[in-house]
Amino acid sequence: MANILFTTESGADVPKYLVDKYPIYVAPMHVIMDEKDYPDGTIPVTDIYDYYERTNQIPSTTSTNPQEYTELFEQIKKEDPDSIIVHIGYTSRASSSFQHATIAAKDFDNIHLIDALNVSGGLGSIVLFAAQLLERQPDIALEDLIEQIKRKVPKSRFSFIPGSLDFLRAGGRVSNAAYISASLLKIKPLIELIDGKLTSTKKYRGPMKQVVEKMFRDYVSHYDLDKEVLYLLYSVGLDESVKEIMETLATEAGFTNLVWIQAGNVISTHAGPGGAGFAGLEI
């Protein structure tokens, strides 16, 4: 029986220990600073924060290009010629990565592409659902596996609050007027994936500890989440006391397994330091 393997982008932010545990291959997205291209994960996130402090600008980010997908698919096929690749990709409505994967896949047999319509932990939750489903049912038919993954795509729920609006303003996603108003009122926007697009759906006021609790209460009341696992997201710089609150809230709500996901280079470029969020799958 042919081996089924999964590919995705670094923007899924799947922790390395889980990439190593499952048959998951990750293609890098990119951060560009000072005219140098850095594949996601090859530099500390703090380098991005330092760049902003030095230039008052955020780095630019680019998608995985077709050649990189071609090289990844070739590597997999060289190691296992009969393998079947299921690519679960970064939302096509916020990046050209999925389109580039589609272009590269045309030169290979047995590559199946799924647009996850999600990013970071939202994408990661689908990738890990797929890997764990295959682990539980190693003899599952490929068609059934793909169908179950596709059914989970609209059930992945990702919510994230940036630590500040500085990076969103620097990236042109928040106007100066809105930035000043939000800063004075200590307003933090809730970012969610709606139809594959990053959308500000709500605003919270107050310090991060209070905001995280309000966000979590809204999150679990709005969605019928599977309590087997919850992904806790953060960008470097989030206070440890806020992480403790997130764990406590999730445990008290009855989630069995808690998995921490750190925002990588690409996601942190837009989220900035000290962000927090949750990702999970609806039943």
Range scoring the smallest mean pLDDT among 82-91, 144-153, 226-235, 264-273: 264-273
pLDDT of 14 above 90: yes
pLDDT value of position 260: 98
Cβ atoms of 101 and 92 closer than 8 Å: no
Q: Of the residues 153, 170, 192, which one is the last residue of a structural domain?
A: 153
pLDDT value of position 164: 75
Q: How many domains does the chain have?
A: 2
Q: Are residues 195 and 251 in the same domain?
A: yes
| CATH code where residue 121 lies | 3.40.50.10170
Q: How far is CA 20 from CA 8, 40, 76, 181, in A?
A: 14, 17, 15, 45
Q: Is residue 170 part of a domain?
A: yes
pLDDT of 196 above 60: yes
Q: Of the residues 153, 179, 208, which one is the last residue of a structural domain?
A: 153
Q: Of the residues 114, 137, 153, which one is the last residue of a structural domain?
A: 153
- Rounded to an integer, the average pLDDT of 116-142 is 98
> What is the pTM assigned to this prediction?
0.94
Full domain range(s) for residue 144: 4-32+61-153
Q: Are residues 204 and 72 in the same domain?
A: no
- Rounded to an integer, the average pLDDT of 70-81 is 97
Q: Are residues 99 and 185 in the same domain?
A: no
Grade residue 1 by pLDDT with cuts at 50, 70 and 90. Answer: low
pLDDT in tens, 210-221: 999 999 999 999
Question: What's CA 118's distance to the chain center, in Å?
Answer: 7
Q: Are residues 95 and 186 in the same domain?
A: no
The type of residue at 78 is: K
Give φ, ψ of 58 to 5 degrees: -95, 155
pLDDT value of position 185: 45
Q: Is residue 131 part of a domain?
A: yes
pLDDT in tens, 166-186: 777 665 554 443 434 445 446
